[in-house]
Amino acid sequence: MGDRIRVLTANLWNGGADPAGVAEVVEAWAVDVACTQELAPEQAEALARVLPHGCLEPARDHTGMGIALRRPAGLRRLELAGRDAWVAELDPAHWPGLAECLEVISVHIVGPHLLRGWRQRRGQLHALERYLDGAGPRPRLLVGDLNATPLWPVYRRLTRRLHDGPADVARRRGARPQRTWGPTPRSPRLLRIDHALVAGVHVEDAHVVPLPGGDHSALLVDLTP
């Protein structure tokens, strides 16, 4: 795979996805960066055993977040309404193949079905737009559970600033992007609400991979400088 960086994003269903199964997917697919939403303590422990760097802050109230990394990177929070985003700065000193720093942003947009969900969604979206507009152009990947299909305003407004990497891959293949969410672990995936949006970096490949016990499948993207 050369100097590609493989990034996984996955909503782990507040502990519902099997911790060992999540770790096995990370190992089997040689993931370099794992961005997680709804991360529970047992899942964080399993991830930390296979990806030793990063920062994981699990919880049992659907707010657990974290980024696990194969190599060191700077990490910080990006304050958003309801749930903060996490930002990782991948430096060429630690990440071979990068000519300059790559910013990875992991987000979990509040679902519209929740109490006060619409107000928090708008606040999160507006904060992300301000951040992206103010930070200026640079290699960037925004991943996570947007709780929005491509028809919804959250997706449409973010893709004014960033490109949908998996959709680009699917078009090159003459296919449609795969859906990522279903109401139960065994149900068909009905909606594409987990996304990988990029600027200044190429998405070479994309995969949707089932997670044992999860209502979301993992989305993986291969990035090349």
What average pLDDT score do residues 159-175 get? 97
CB 26 within 8 A of CB 34: yes
108-114: long-range pairs with CB below 8 Å, 24+: 108/11, 108/37, 108/38, 108/65, 108/83, 108/144, 108/145, 108/147, 109/83, 109/144, 109/145, 109/146, 109/147, 109/148, 109/154, 110/81, 110/82, 110/83, 110/147, 111/147, 112/147
Interval 76-108: pLDDT, tens: 999 998 899 999 999 999 998 899 999 999 999
The amino acid sitting at 220 is L
- pLDDT confidence band for 115 (50 / 70 / 90): low
**Higher-pLDDT residue of 39, 115:** 39
Which pTM was predicted? Answer: 0.96
- Of 86, 83, 53, the residue nearest 70 (C-alpha): 53
pLDDT tens column, 187-216: 999 999 999 999 999 999 999 999 999 999
What are the structural domains, with CATH classification, of the chain? 5-224 (3.60.10.10)
136-154 residue pLDDT tens: 899 999 999 999 999 999 9
| Across 163-171, average pLDDT | 98
What's the whole-number mean pLDDT along residues 17-41?
98
Residue 1 has pLDDT above 80, yes or no: no
Mean of all residue pLDDT scores within the chain: 95
Structure tokens at 143: 């991943």
- Dihedral sign (CA 22, 24, 25, 30): positive
* Average pLDDT for 4-15: 97
